[in-house]
Structure 1
């Protein structure tokens, strides 16, 4: 299954890189237009903000791996593998319930925003904010996967019980 997801992960990384390039190019265009041609333009700010919003939520949904997430494991880090599974399962259920409860209201808000358009480019705001719905569904799917499969073996925190390997120093 993981070998089938690798090309999708590479695609998600490429989209994130493209969004970062769009931000950079818009930023450079703003600098050139303002300081070289003395003709500031507003569209660059709008493009940068939209690309940033999409980059953050797209990256959190599809690029970030489980072992790259920031987690506070003050309690579970000291427990056994079974304790970590139970606490992780409780956390996953909490994420599923809370994000699941927010999904209808989020859908309603995003679809309502079709009446609004961005100030400079005239992009419909439902299109702009639709990435949030994708993010919520991806977070729920990731929590479901965690609930079914448990934590990945490489995400379990080290307990610090074994002495350091002198050859690794």
Structure 2
């Protein structure tokens, strides 16, 4: 099973990047179409703006859920890089517990809100808001799973910290 995950993981990561790139390309095409219709043809259209906003929301949350790696996450590198590996692992574990708890506490309310939003639709394309906001539920579940994994790694796999220390040193220019 582990061998399958080691092969499937990078493949799935590349497919997640492909989805993000496709959304970005579609958003850019809608943006260009909006410019052409508004400034060249003198016929302003609203649906292109709606598509751009929807795709931006989806790109940000999709990318945060499936494309961004742990090494690319924002952290206080000055503090994180200055402490010993054991302290770094403790910081990672505490952060994971806090974030998992916050996401888990908020998840029922998020699901209720997204479900409730089926009563409204977007202005131009008539897309139900529950479909539009469903990406946040996907993001929240992915964040919970990611931080559970990171906390587990920090607590039970100290060899991961050697790789992490290397990444911190490379990132700081050492």
Under a length normalisation based on structure 1, what TM-score does the superposition of the two structures give?
0.89
Matches within 5 A, 1:1-169: 1-150=5-154, 153-156=162-165, 157-158=168-169
Distance 2:128 2:107 in 1: 20
Shift of 1:4: 1.8
CA RMSD, Structure 1 to Structure 2 (Å): 1.6
Q: Which has the higher helix share?
A: 2
SS at match of 1:62: helix
Q: Which moved more, 1:50-59 or 1:30-39?
A: 30-39
Q: Tell me if the contact between 2:16 and 2:67 (Cα under 8 Å) persists in the aligned partners.
A: yes
Distance 1:158 1:53 in 2: 33
Give per-residue Cα distances to partners, 1:96-120, cap 9 Å, x unaligned.
0001101000000000000010011
Aligned length: 160
Distance 2:163 2:8 in 1: 20
Q: Tell me if the contact between 2:85 and 2:161 (Cα under 8 Å) persists in the aligned partners.
A: no
Shift of 1:29: 0.5
Distance 1:76 1:103 in 2: 29
Q: Tell me if the contact between 2:13 and 2:67 (Cα under 8 Å) persists in the aligned partners.
A: yes
Distance 2:89 2:103 in 1: 21
Q: Tell me if the contact between 2:89 and 2:161 (Cα under 8 Å) persists in the aligned partners.
A: no
Shift of 1:70: 1.1
Unaligned runs of 5+ in 2: 155-159
SS at match of 1:56: helix
Unaligned runs of 5+ in 1: 165-169
Q: Tell me if the contact between 1:66 and 1:155 (Cα under 8 Å) persists in the aligned partners.
A: no
